[in-house]
Structures are given as structure tokens and as C-alpha cells.
Amino acid sequence: MSHALVELREKLTAMRLYVLVTGDVAKRLPLEAAKLVIAGGADVVQLREKTMADGEFLVLARQFRELTAKTGTLFIVNDRAEMARLADADGVHLGQDDLPVAEARKILGRGTLIGVSTHAIDQARRAVADGADYIGVGPVYPTKTKGYEQGVGLQYVRQVASELDVPFVAIGAITLERLPEVMAAGAKAVAVSSAIIAARDPKAMARAFKQKL
């Protein structure tokens, strides 16, 4: 295993706050939102722009890479493995309906992280067996961001924490008020979108989350 990959996996293990950045949710430019949440203590930022044209997305992804390289923040691209490769991102995050892990690995090689969203324990087991470096666990609570009217609940977080030896982030309408019970269920890291980037002061909100994690 390369030194670079070892370093990436160490950062994964140490991560506590993972922030998904989408311009429409943030109500500000994605790069500006990223700067604010990183200043507030985000360990990982994911660029999530589902409808942005490839050319525009690549320019933005390279700006994210330049920013995160300076701060030592992990940079993940949502869904678009080829864009992740071209932008030299640290990894890609895949949904259940996106590329299989094996196909993404062909594009990205062994030195890049691959994360997978999971909503049930069988999906989590399969993602780990397929070689995912980390998994998303949720949505813990109902969330409009992901289009889930009902969350999978804290029991699923407990299952993953007790059964699987893989870094994971709990995700899905997690707020500061809900954070203690998510952590009590076994989550060491949380992925947050609107609660941070749509806040009046994303930097302060990110810092508030980080202080509780």
C-alpha cells in the first residue's frame, strides 16, 4: 500500500465532520461555502452538484482540490468517478444506483478512496465486501436533501457500529440537537449538509458540530 493511500486512510479513520456542499442548498457559491466549513473544522468536504455540466463541474472540482490541498482536508466528489480522477480528488462517493465499486476502482485506481451510501445492513456488508473504503449510514432521520420521507433510524447505526470494521459516517437530517443520540448509537463521524451550509454562519455552525464530536 502506498504511503499516500495510508495517509488518506488515516484521515478517514480520524474524521469526525464530513460536509456535503451543494450550491443550491448553501444559497452561496459552492467554493465559498467550502472555505467557510473548512475554516469551521470540517475534516472532509464532498462536492455534490448533480446537474452541473461536466466542464463547469471540473473547473469547480479543481478549485476545491486546490483549496483542500492547502488545508489538508479530504476532498470527495459525489458520483462522478471520472471527474474525481481528472480533478485529482481524494475519492468518490457512490450511491446505490451509481457505478459499482469495482468499476469506479478501474477508473480511479488503488490510490483513491471510494465511499458508498447504504440504507440497510445487507447493503453495508456488500459495500465492504466490494472494497469500499468507507460507507455512509442513513438517512438516520427523514430528509428532503436525499428524498427520503422516512429515515432508517438509529438502530441501523448501532448495527453497523457493532458489526462492521469500516469507517462510516452517519447521515440524514442530523442537527446539533440530534448529534448526542447519533454518537451514543456508535457513530464517530457525521455527514451534514443543510444544517451547516444553509446556516446563516456556516463557519460557526461547523465549529459547533466539531466541538460536540
Tens-digit pLDDT profile for residues 29-53: 999 999 999 999 999 999 999 999 9
User: What is the rounded distance in angstroms from the CA atom of residue 134 to the CA atom of residue 140?
Assistant: 17
- φ, ψ for residue 66 (rounded to 5)? -60, -45
- Beta carbons of 137 and 189 less than 8 angstroms apart: no
pLDDT score for 145: 57
> What is the mean pLDDT of the segment spanning 122-144?
96
In 22-161, DSSP assigns E strands to 44-47, 74-78, 91-94, 113-118, 134-137
- Residue 107 CB contacts under 8 Å (≥ 6 apart), including other chains: 81, 82, 85, 99
Let me know: does 65 contact 75? Beta carbons within 8 Å: yes
Phi, psi of 112 (to 5 degrees): -125, 145
DSSP lists the bridge partners of residue 191 as 18, 171
Active-site positions read 48, 117, 146
Distance CA(168)–CA(72), nearest Å, equals 20
Cα(169)–Cα(14) distance, integer angstroms: 11
What distance in Å separates the CA atoms of residue 114 and residue 97, rounded to the nearest whole number?
15
**Calpha distance 13→25 (Å, rounded):** 28
pLDDT digits (tens, 9 = 90+) for 150-175: 789 999 999 999 999 999 999 999 99
Q: How confident is the model at residue 146 (pLDDT cuts 50, 70, 90)?
A: low
Give CA–CA dist 47/172, Å, rounded: 17
Task: Give the model's pLDDT for residue 3.
Answer: 83
Q: How sure is the predictor about 5, in pLDDT bands with cuts at 50, 70 and 90?
A: confident
Mean residue pLDDT across the chain: 96
Query: Could you read off the pLDDT of 65-89 as tens digits, one per residue?
Result: 999 999 999 999 999 999 999 999 9
Domains delineated in the chain: 3-201 (3.20.20.70)
Percent of the chain with pLDDT strictly greater than 90: 92
